[in-house]
Amino acid sequence: MSKRHPKDLILPNLTVTDAAAQGKSVSHSEDGRAVLITGAVPGDVVDVRVTKKKSKYYEGTVERIISPSEKRVAPMCEHFGVCGGCKWQNMAYQDQIFYKQKEVENNIRRIGNIEPNEIVPIKGCEKQYFYRNKMEYSFASRRWYTREELNTFGDIEGEVGLGFHIQGRWDKVLDVKKCFLQRDPSNDIRLKVRSYAIENGLTFFDPRENTGFLRTMMIRTSESTGEVMVMIQFYHEDVPAREGLLNFIKDNFSEVTSLLYAINPKSNDSLYDLDIKTFYGNDHIFEEMEGLRFKIGPKSFYQTNSTQAYQLYSIVRDFAQLTGNENVYDLYTGTGTISQFISKNAKKVIGVEAVPEAIEAAKINAQINGITNCEYLVGDMKDVFDDAFVSQYGAPDVVITDPPRDGMHKDVVAMLLKLAPKRIVYVSCNSATQGRDLDLMRHMYSVEKMQAVDMFPQTFHVENVAILTLKTTE
């Protein structure tokens, strides 16, 4: 092979055979190496520009589409390929969920060394666009310019932007014209706030120089109640400027029921340690599900696809097979949405979560919903899940676990095996780490059934729910 820089190397006429992890597609070069391609769809025939060259594989981007796949569709969003948020928007939805299902099955079989007794087809999403209930935008003193813009206009004077950080660039923001992820009035609010700020001389944040006034804007919407929350982070206080912008939002968007702000002079945009103040309306919105009401504040975790969250929780409840007599552990409970959703079918539910604010929200929601059989405590699962915990709360009949992407800590898995509950419902946003954990438990548990749930259309992300049943000893 040539010693040229990888970016000067073109692999011609490659047939894309499959989807790979992280939204890439896969082909093979003449020398037998795998080629992981950004921007291709299985079935495409493409020329690929190599961006990374390794001993066993290449990574690259589509240089030219020679023959488009039947699975390929025209992306709806003008920012596709630049934004980086919806990597599969160029693939037909039925093919997206096919490859999500395939990835989950492969991970459980290859990493977990398990053949489930039953695989229920993936639960697709009826709303393939405008399904998110939370979006976060960043203000930037100089927006990101595409290659086409630079080639067309040459040197461009600095222009502000309000949108998403370019993948891998903490200091560059794409100015978003229209996003297809969150329902109205999200796009209208963002565009009018941008225009108001420019017209009134409000400066946008520069993360390199730590200058500017406007930092971030978060918009949360409730599918069930129609409520809208807007929260602005300002880099420093300027009462007239701040009140001018917030009054503009209040006066022009009657849908906004919660208008919040925070002054953030830190080096990062994290809001979890900020003092958030209410400018207008409530400090929260509500989401409703089967008569339950969940109070959502600016720092709350709530599944970002409300409609599919209901489908996910329904599958969890079905898999748990509760009769009303069970003691249930809900590990990594978050704000307690799953535990409260299944509480009427259980004798008692114990929820554990490492984030104190999440547990506080869980307790508030339980009180709002009149639920008395859920108990919540703060703690890192690997530290608190021990013999003393079981002695205090009683041995579980059923365990529901919904860990972060890294999966369960090995000490948590060991404790589950020691307790040997009759059923474990494992909810995962990363079937690779789920497979790893299931492999550790397969000598004691059978995977009776599993079902993937598509929470994020147009992306490669997928959830998977598995029900594990304790093997009987003869």
Known catalytic residues are 429
Can you tell me the distance from the alpha carbon of 307 to that of 456, in angstroms, rounded to the nearest whole number? 11
Helices in 379-473 by DSSP H: which ranges? 381-384, 387-393, 410-419, 431-441
CA 388 to chain centre: 34
Give the 3-state secondary structure of 256-282. Answer: EEEEEEEECCCCCCCCCCCCCEEEEEC
Can you tell me the distance from the alpha carbon of 112 to that of 105, in angstroms, rounded to the nearest whole number? 10
Can you tell me the distance from the alpha carbon of 222 to that of 306, in angstroms, rounded to the nearest whole number? 8
DSSP assignment letter at 177: S
The residue type at 184: D
Nearest to 279 by CA among 301, 255, 257, 294: 257
Residues in the chain: 474
The residues, ordered by sequence, that sit 6+ positions from 149 with a Cβ below 8 Å of its Cβ are 156
Q: For tokens 């001018």, what's the residue?
A: 244
Strand order in the sheet with 45-53: 10-15, 45-53, 57-67, 34-38, 25-28, 18-19
Tell me whether residue 24 is exposed, middle or buried, using C-beta atoms within 10 angstroms of its C-beta: 0 to 12, 13 to 18, 19 or more: buried
Can you tell me the distance from the alpha carbon of 320 to that of 328, in angstroms, rounded to the nearest whole number? 9
235 in Cβ contact with 215 (< 8 Å): yes
DSSP assignment letter at 51: E
CA 256 to chain centre: 24
Backbone angles phi, psi at 186, to 5 degrees: -55, -50
Using only C-alpha atoms, what is the Rg of the chain?
24
Nearest to 46 by CA among 6, 16, 90: 16
Nearest to 29 by CA among 68, 2, 90: 2
Nearest to 395 by CA among 375, 422, 428, 413: 422
